[in-house]
Amino acid sequence: MSESGTDTDAGDDAGHVGNARRQVADLPEAMIVGRAQDGDLAAFEELNRRYQGPLYRLAVRLLADRGEAEDALQDTMVAVWRKLPSLTELPAFHGWIYQIMTRRCMSVLRTRARRSTDPVDADDMAELTGDRSVLGNGSGYSDPAAATEYAEQLRGLNEELANLPDEQRACWVLREFHELSYPEIAYAMNLPVSTVRGRIARARQNLARGMEAWR
Amino acid sequence: MAMSERSTSRLACGRDIDEVWERIESPPDEHELECPHCRNARSDLGNLARLTASQRDEERVDPDLEPDPAILGRIMAIARAEVRRGRQLPLDEPDAEGPVAELTVSEQAVSASARRAGDAVDGVQVERCEVVLVPGGGSPAVSGSVGSGPGGPGVPESYRASRPSIVDVTLQVSVSIALSIPEVAREMRSNVMRRVNDEVGIDVRRIHIDVRDAHDD
């Protein structure tokens, strides 16, 4: 292996990246994916910028642990970089990247279950995703009592979500928070579409029932 | 509530709860206005739908639910390191007796330069860029496939190069519908030739321009 050549292109991206990023950000997603597939770092960075927020939120929701969610995000994006050349349908990227993250999280959850350590903790989840976000930015209520009730109900939703079985929670979150289609969720979860439909219906039923206690 | 006791998602009136949920954002239809099961289900689900939508919208803009920026840095460092292991093209003219070309440039650097040159042409979006070493052009043919993406073949052990490399470049592009393709192609060719030569010091023999798509501006 000749290492002597590596310095020749050390300055490759320096001085161009800022410019390249602005240009890349304006392209349609399938084109950015194509360029990242070619090994274009600016394009790959743009994909990171677009997906890191949603994927991280998904992982926090599924794992209820920021550290593990961050690890899952890093593992996912590195896997994306390595596996990109095998992706043949560029427009399918959205479902594909969600699939990598979802399977990663489900595998962490299965490992936890095998070790029978703490399952997703409802209090952790409420703290991670719950009222903190509600109190800061406006809930739209000017009446403090209504605002409090609203905050309380959102906390309830987060707790009920955390109490769902993992597969139900994952299907529900992918559908309702990330707006994936049933076939995309089926692919991400490695389940038949009919099963996904059932899990989501069951999750909805459990959540609606659970929310009665918070009214 | 009606659905609590049921294992299927069908309400007592025969309507599927999925259907009620899908329509929850719209006003009730005639059946839903009349049917007590549907009215019940709508009121229970309406609350859940509103809360779910609020939670979704709020966490999308919640700065506390963004990952630590250091993670992007780590991911990009790994990606960069792996690009560097991509194929290397001989760059320097070695002395006649020298068995190994010491100076090389990565295919990635060549294709990045060609892509930038293509992008610099107004109305052009470069999708893919492939760089192919011309066999016998500057140096002996190198075995292995010629993909320039991550995970490509490793660095060949040595090059018995006699002259600097010559490459062919293929660009897959989308061109604005407002432009004439022959003119755009001419401008791209001269731009790519010049910039690849200036920036990475490699000669481009041929540039294939594959117009895959046309876009509105």
Residue A15 one-letter amino acid: G
The rounded distance, in Å, linking the Cα atoms of B52 and B59 is: 11
Look at B44 and B126; give whichever has higher pLDDT. B126
Establish if A65 belongs to a structural domain: yes
Decide if A132 and B75 are in contact by the 8 Å CB cutoff: no
What is the pLDDT averaged over residues A54-80? 96
Tell me the HSE value of B144 on the side-chain side, using a 13 A CA sphere. Answer: 17
pTM > 0.80: no
The rounded distance, in Å, linking the Cα atoms of A200 and A47 is: 29
Decide if A57 and B65 are in contact by the 8 Å CB cutoff: yes
Look at B104 and A174; give whichever has higher pLDDT. A174
CA distances from B74 to A53, B39, B184 (A): 16, 52, 39
Burial of A87 (0-12, 13-18, 19+ CB in 10 A): middle
Look at A113 and A71; give whichever has higher pLDDT. A71
pLDDT at position A140: 61
Establish if A85 belongs to a structural domain: yes
Residues in chain A closer than 8 A to B75 (CB atoms): 48, 74, 77-78, 81
Q: Where are the domains of chain B?
A: 2-60, 87-215
pLDDT at B153 > cutoff 50: no
Establish if A73 belongs to a structural domain: yes
Region at B151 (left for phi over 0; alpha for psi -120 to 50; beta for the rest) = left
What is the pLDDT averaged over residues A173-187? 96
What is the pLDDT averaged over residues A193-208? 92
Look at A55 and B134; give whichever has higher pLDDT. A55
Instruction: Give residues 85 to 114 of A whose Cβ lies within 8 Å of B.
Output: 85
pLDDT at position A128: 66
A35 in Cβ contact with A23 (< 8 Å): no
Residues in chain A closer than 8 A to B103 (CB atoms): 4-5, 8
Reported as a single tens digit per residue, the pLDDT across B174-191 is 999 999 999 999 999 999
Beta bridge partners of B176: B215
Query: Which of B66, B67, B102 is nearest residue A2 as measured by Cβ atoms?
Result: B102
What is the pLDDT averaged over residues A69-84? 95
Place of tokens 């994927």: A55
Look at B156 and A159; give whichever has higher pLDDT. A159
In the CATH scheme, what is the code of domain B87-215? 3.30.70.1350
pLDDT at B71 > cutoff 90: yes
**How many separate helices (H) and strands (E) can be counted in chain B?**
6, 5
Give all strands (DSSP E) within chain B, no chain letters: 88-90, 104-106, 124-133, 166-176, 203-215
Pick the residue from chain B with its C-alpha nearest to A202.
Answer: B9
Decide if B68 and A6 are in contact by the 8 Å CB cutoff: no
Copy the structure tokens of residue B23.
């329509």
Tell me the HSE value of B17 on the side-chain side, using a 13 A CA sphere. Answer: 28
Query: Which of B75, B82, B103 is nearest residue A8 as measured by Cβ atoms?
Result: B103
Number of domains comprising chain A: 1
Residues in chain A closer than 8 A to B43 (CB atoms): none
Confidence of residue B52 (pLDDT cuts 50, 70, 90): very high
Q: Which of A157-171, B66-80, B89-103 has the lowest mean pLDDT?
A: B89-103
pLDDT, mean over chain B: 78
Establish if A20 belongs to a structural domain: yes
The rounded distance, in Å, linking the Cα atoms of A188 and A175 is: 11
pLDDT at A194 > cutoff 90: yes
pLDDT at position A1: 39
Residues in chain B closer than 8 A to A48 (CB atoms): 72, 75-76
Q: Which of A75-84, B77-86, B144-153 has the lowest mean pLDDT?
A: B144-153
Q: What's the longest Cα–Cα distance across chain A?
A: 70
Backbone angles phi, psi at B81, to 5 degrees: -60, -35
pLDDT at A98 > cutoff 90: yes
Give all strands (DSSP E) within chain A, no chain letters: none
Q: Which domain holds residue A71?
A: 15-117
Decide if B4 and A157 are in contact by the 8 Å CB cutoff: no
Establish if A27 belongs to a structural domain: yes
What is the four-CA torsion angle of A50, A55, A56, A60, rounded to 10 degrees?
Answer: 160
Copy the structure tokens of residue A31.
């084109």
pLDDT at position A3: 38
Q: Which of A3-17, B1-15, B26-40 has the lowest mean pLDDT?
A: A3-17
pLDDT at position A168: 97
Task: Name the most confidently modeled range: A14-23, A146-155, B45-54, B146-155.
Answer: B45-54
pLDDT, mean over chain A: 82
The ipTM value here is 0.81
SS3 call for B60: helix
Establish if A80 belongs to a structural domain: yes
pLDDT at position B136: 62
Residue A47 sits in a domain of what CATH number?
A: 1.10.1740.10
pLDDT at position A16: 47
% of chain B at pLDDT higher than 90? 31
